[in-house]
Structure 1
Amino acid sequence: MQIRTLFFWSSLFFLAACSKPSELGLSLVEQDPANIIYTDSLSLDLQTVLTDPLTSSARTRWICGSYLDPIFGKTEAGLYANFRLTSSNASFPNASFDSLVLSLAYDSVGHYGGNISQLGVQEWQVYRLTEDIDPDEDYSADTEFLTGDLLADFSFIPKVNESVSVDDAALDPQLRIRLADSLGQYLMQPDSAIYSSNSVFKEAFKGVYIRPKTNGQQSAILRFLSESAYSKLTLYYTDSAGVAQSYDYLMDDDAESVLNISHDYSNTTVLQNNSSDSIVYLQGMNGLGVRLAFPHLANLGAIIVNKAELVIQLAEEQDRNFPAPDQLFCLEKTSTDGYLLIDDVTSSVNLNPSDPFRLFGGLLSYDGDQAYFAMNLSEYLQRLVDQETEEAALYIQTAAITDTERMRIGNGQASSLQAKLFLTYTKID
């Protein structure tokens, strides 16, 4: 999906409280309360759909890794990235190479696939890129670049909350990967012209591809901070005076990155899903969305929508290894722009920039032990009634491509935990 508006907010984590169905919105029109009609029995058809490839370049978060979900199948994510110079015209006269280390700063949240404090061995690889990442191109999550030499084949146990000791200094949690000495030696003794500018350097060294090893041990998708000072490539060397030195190649600002994400649902039933089933499936990381249609909305005739609140419920108890998303969004499909956030989301952000999703909702909430999401659809439902949309449906998905969570939802046809629309409206004669 090309979602123009969504990605401006995809890196925000302003999560606001939402409420059960309420009388909010009744003041939108002046009318006799006797003419106000309330219903919670309007039919809803929810169906699992594949999300179109989302833009995955220039993310503020990265994801990498692989895991096998007993319900949703296999998910795999890799990272293409290049580097920028710390300073131009770097040189290493009469210096000796020590090592070349790629470091990726762990995010504090967003790791997925198991108990984060007890994750098992992960087996990853790093390859050298042989194809340019164009800084002016928007790449989608199914993009693949050409790669060359294997730079690292390694295993590790993620320690996402533990500091790392480097040269007797305690640094923020990070994954550190030693790359092939041959690349470090090349970077120390190249044609000095490659350090003249970032563009020249990136032409000479196009970057790396970090990915889970095929058929290797995997149990999690890990999330990293792209703009952290600890996400970088570091060349360690000893100068001509015998003093240990280092030079950093950074991954922020003038560097590019692209996520490559794939899902294998072949051994699952998640796509064998239709609007009559009691369960629908939703997954982040450019996986699965939910299409919601209102097959009998037209039977209401001409109405003014005072308040329309959609409530969807998790169809199972929360699994600590596979928790549900924190935030959901709703989108509409257009023939020209792909998928755009519905009016209720954009209005919520525009009216409350300091608390952008308060009016829309979409936040994971609880009624006792039952988890649910409540979303205000008043503006969009009015457009559906007035036949101003290109499709008589909306689409529900996670807020960002790097949201790793998944869940099962009760459909409108379910015998319990049904999705419901709580609608208050006025009939127009």
Structure 2
Amino acid sequence: MKQFPFILCLLLLALASCTDPITVGADILRGDQADVGQINDLPMTVRTVREDSLAVFAVEENAFRETFSFGRSEDDIFGTWTQSVAIAPGLQQTTGSLFQEVIVPEFVENPDANIDSIVLILPIDTFAGFYGPGRTFNVTLSRLIDPIPTDQDIFSSYDRPLTGSSLTDDASFVAKAEATILYDTIYSDGDTVSLPHVRLRLNQSFVDVMNTLDSTNYVSDTVFRETFAGVYLEPNDDVDGFFTIRPRGTTGTLERSGFYFFYPDPSDNDPASFYRVPFNGWFPRYSFDFAGTLAGELLNGDDSTQTLVGGTGAYMTEITFTDLDALQDKLINRAEITFYRELIEDYDYGTYPAPSFLGLYYRNNSGDLVNILDQELLQNNTDAVRSFLGGFAETDADDDTQSFYQNRLSVHMQGIIDGDFAEPKIYLRVVPIASDPSRAVLSGPAATSNGASNVITFTNIQ
């Protein structure tokens, strides 16, 4: 302890004598400083191409889409979109046992009970919401002549199935987000059951046919569909809007969709009962006609001035980077691509909103469209991750009438430069792909104002 004051004094003297700055470390750092740079507007072209047809049934997994879009729109910009659905019926099965058995309805086994009405119930997915101004849907509900074959995958562009007679008289319904009564206490033996849904009452001719069936028709789903193959629901030409249908309930909720066979129940003196025929499958069909429209012109051209995006299998923008020489021997730090929405005369984005989100995709070795590498590496698809990657509709700070989409593709651009992909192409698509019918015109890189652009920052590794 006695030596501590002496050592402290020596240390202070030594520090006082060191008047020159220490520069050795700084010199080393200056020698190792990275050569960084930035490229604005790497050469690229864009064109409008058809979207891939969407898978609506996967045979190996026996899987259907959780939601699908239904409706119609027609204009001179985007063309005519018609979204219909074929529905296959099933039969109720017992639960809780190793071997499931068909539950035969009471009106089949009891000669004193007869069906008095049949109603088709389709729950609305209010999370996806509505698109376009229309809320009243005039529709045609036809009986399928044959069951939809499920021995192979089915895509949204499948041929319209053969149909027979109409099952409704002047069919129409109003789609809205508010919950409406599904059935009341006379059927539920408790509280009134309500949820957002649309319903169609089938005509008496069909009810009469179903009343002729006996227990042999209810042996299995296959046998039942020999008599009732299902229905095909399509919007009429005067429909102007879309909504999303969710056949199965969300987690923790009961499945409510189906064909409801209502009948008086004489066996237990109930005033009324019902037998729900659930859906065995649903097959949305999305068809398009672009003749004589801007969409038709752009799909048949190669113009980088304008391009389109449209959901539910309509079209997407193909982006090709035509000259990568400036990025050879570069390590990409950040790459962004920006597209401005183009305002079109006499087209109202307020009535028909532009997409809220656009995602970037590429074709893998199998030819399938998959997320770019940036998205694949960030598997957690949270709002924070999506915000980091970009793609949301944003408003220009200097002009609130201008909207744009800015997506990051840093990792994927590095892969393009390194030759990891067969072609230097990516695709801009509306997301969610299968249930969002929004669409927009975007300015291409050759546009006279607000053209599509890209900015790439890099480190020179030579």
Shift of residue 352, structure 1, vs aligned partner: 5.6
Match for residue 143 of structure 1 among 124, 148, 158: 158
Q: Which moved more, 1:381-390 or 1:154-163?
A: 154-163
- Provide closer, same or farther for how the CA distance between residues 198 and 276 of structure 1 changes in structure 2, counting only shifts above 3 A: closer
| Code of the aligned partner of 2:320 | A
Relative contact order higher in (CA < 8 Å, ≥ 6 apart): 1
Q: TM-score, normalised by structure 2?
A: 0.77
For the residues of structure 2 that align with 1:163 and 1:378, how far apart are their CA atoms? Answer: 45
Is residue 410 from structure 1 mapped to residue 443 from structure 2 by the alignment? yes
- SS class of match (1:217): coil
Larger radius of gyration: 2
- Tell me which of 313, 329, 342 is aligned to 2:359: 329
Aligned to 2:391, which of 351, 356, 362? 362
The answer to whether the 8 Å contact 1:80/1:207 transfers is yes
Is 1:268 aligned to residue 293 of structure 2? yes
- 1:75 correspondence with 2:75: no
Q: Where does structure 1 lack aligned partners over 5 or more consecutive residues?
A: 1-30
Identity %: 24
Q: Which amino acid aligns with 2:414?
A: Q
| Contact in 1 for aligned 2:119/2:200 (Cα 8 Å) | yes
Measured after TM superposition, the shift of residue 335 of structure 1 is 5.3
Partner of 1:25: none
1:156-175 to 2 correspondences below 5 Å: 156=172, 158-165=174-181, 166-167=183-184, 169=192, 171-175=194-198
Tell me, in whole angstroms, the C-alpha distance in 2 between the residues paired with 1:333 and 1:376: 18
Aligned-residue offset at 1:130 = 2.5
Q: Is the 8 A contact 1:309 1:423 kept in 2?
A: yes
Q: Distance in 1 between matches of 2:385 and 2:104?
A: 45
Alignment partners' CA distance in 2, 1:321 and 1:210:
25
Task: Supply the distance in 1 between the matched residues of 2:295 and 2:288 (Cα, whole angstroms).
Answer: 12
The answer to whether the 8 A contact 2:69-2:434 is kept is no
Alpha-carbon separation, structure 2, partners of 1:184 and 1:157: 20
Whether 1:378 aligns to 2:405 is no
Q: Could you say what secondary structure the match of 1:403 adopts?
A: coil
Change (3 A) 1:170 1:192: closer
Aligned-partner Cα distance in 1 for 2:240–2:114: 39
Contact 2:175 2:243 in 1 (8 A): no
Q: Distance in 2 between matches of 1:245 and 1:84?
A: 19
Q: Label 1:66 to 1:249 Cα distance change in 2 as closer, same or farther (>3 A).
A: same
Assess, with a 3 A threshold, how the Cα gap between structure 1 residues 63 and 354 changes in structure 2: closer, same or farther: closer
CA distance in 1, matches of 2:349, 2:92: 44
Query: Is the CA contact 1:64–1:210 (under 8 Å) kept in the aligned structure 2?
Result: no
Equivalent residues in 2 for 1:23-422 (5 A)?
34-57=34-57, 58-87=64-93, 88-91=102-105, 92=107, 93=110, 94-108=112-126, 109-114=128-133, 119=134, 121-135=136-150, 137-144=152-159, 145-156=161-172, 158-165=174-181, 166-167=183-184, 169=192, 171-213=194-236, 216-228=237-249, 229-241=255-267, 243-251=271-279, 255-273=280-298, 274=301, 276-316=303-343, 319-334=349-364, 336-348=366-378, 350-351=379-380, 357-368=386-397, 369=400, 370-399=402-431, 400-422=433-455
The unaligned stretches of length 5 or more in structure 2 are 1-30, 58-63, 94-101, 186-191, 250-254
From the superposition, tell whether residues 89 and 153 of structure 1 become closer, same or farther in structure 2 (CA, over 3 Å). Answer: same
Q: Which string of whole-angstrom CA distances, capped at 9 and with x for unpartnered residues, describes residues 86-105 of structure 1?
A: 34231311212211000111
Contact preservation (8 Å) 1:44, 1:413? no
Runs of 4+ in 1 over 6 A off after TM superposition: none
Partner AA of 2:38 in structure 1: Y
Code of the residue aligned with 2:265 in structure 1: it is D
CA contact (8 A) 2:45 2:304 kept: no
How many pairs were matched up? Answer: 389
Change (3 A) 1:249 1:403: same
TM-score by length of 1: 0.83
Indicate how the Cα distance of structure 1 residues 324 and 105 shifts in structure 2: closer, same or farther if over 3 A, else same: same
Q: Is the 8 A contact 2:247 2:257 kept in 1?
A: yes
The amino acid that maps onto 2:200 is I
Give, in angstroms, the shift of residue 334 of structure 1.
4.2
Counterpart-to-counterpart distance in 2, 1:202 and 1:33 = 73
Alpha-carbon distance in 2 for matches of 1:377, 1:136: 39
After superposition, the C-alpha distances for 1:171-215 in whole angstroms (9 at most, x for unaligned) are 2221110112233344344131332333443444221110023xx
More helix by share: 2
What's the counterpart of residue 10 of structure 1?
none
